[in-house]
Homo-oligomer: A and B are copies of this chain.
């Protein structure tokens, strides 16, 4: 895009508004969140049942219009917090949905963003109050507009991205066990993995810190907790390390 950065005078701005900008079109901008969660070995998606017109009663992704004084990711974080109580969610731009006729009559471009949240973290009351709910990923209902397409794009991106970034860790609690991590990757890729090979691989990255504590909720023996070493991860990332599992 080709707009001047320098002049600060209101006079010039308003001149532009008349001469340069104002001959162009303006549109509504929205953002929709494709939010994956992971719970009991199953990949889930956060969607909600609309309580107001238009489309009352239909299922939809969580989304919002973007305001003039906020960035797209601010808008997404705002609506996420309103709807689920979650703040500062790790979110990534997916792509824009900009077909001329994707809405009816009024041009609106939506910017899809996908998010990975720890399913234990969300505010259950808020989710209930606003009609948001977790759906098992491969039992999703029909969603409004092009939202099903967004979900399809997002899972494809998630799978590809998980190959070069340890993105899966974002879906787990602060402390997690290797069996949990493995079953997460199995959910993302929809295939079983060998536990010996999996452990070898993820530990070889050197970004996991083993804790003393054990999780005994899923076995008598208990599984050691690990946590993610952000510092080491950033070091490796800047060198272009490949995290394919």
Contact flags A1-24 to B (C-beta < 8 A → 1, else 0): 111111110000100110011001
Q: Which of chain B's residues have a CB closer than 8 A to the CB of A29?
A: 25-27, 29, 109
Contact across chains for B164 and A5 when beta carbons are under 8 A apart: no
Q: Which of B2, B98, B110, B144 contacts A5 (CB 8 A)?
A: B144
Most chain B CB within a 10 A radius of its CB, from A5, A7, A32: A5
Tell whether A72 is near chain B: CB-to-CB under 8 Å.
Answer: yes
A20-B53, A24-B28, A28-B24 are known contacts. Are A96 and B99 too (CB-CB below 8 A)?
A: no
Question: Closest approach, in angstroms, between the C-beta of A70 and any C-beta of chain B?
Answer: 7
A24-B65, A29-B29, A108-B1 are known contacts. Are A72 and B98 too (CB-CB below 8 A)?
A: yes
Q: Which of chain B's residues have a CB closer than 8 A to the CB of A125?
A: none
Tell whether A170 is near chain B: CB-to-CB under 8 Å.
Answer: no
A71 to B146, CA, bound (A): 15
Most chain B CB within a 10 A radius of its CB, from A17, A65, A97: A65
Residues of A in contact (CB 8 Å), total: 58
Tell whether A204 is near chain B: CB-to-CB under 8 Å.
Answer: no
CB proximity to B under 8 Å, residues A221-242:
none
Tell whether A216 is near chain B: CB-to-CB under 8 Å.
Answer: no
Contact across chains for B104 and A55 when beta carbons are under 8 A apart: no
Q: What are the 4 closest A-B residue pairs judged by CB atoms, nearest first? A: A4-B54, A26-B26, A1-B30, A24-B65
Q: A68-B107, A96-B96 are in contact. List 7 more A-B contacts (CB 8 A).
A: A1-B103, A1-B145, A3-B144, A3-B145, A5-B144, A21-B28, A71-B100
Cross-chain pairs A/B with CB under 8 angstroms, 22 sampled: A1-B32, A1-B110, A1-B145, A2-B55, A3-B106, A5-B144, A13-B105, A16-B105, A24-B28, A25-B65, A25-B67, A25-B68, A26-B26, A26-B27, A26-B28, A27-B27, A27-B66, A68-B107, A72-B98, A72-B109, A93-B95, A93-B96
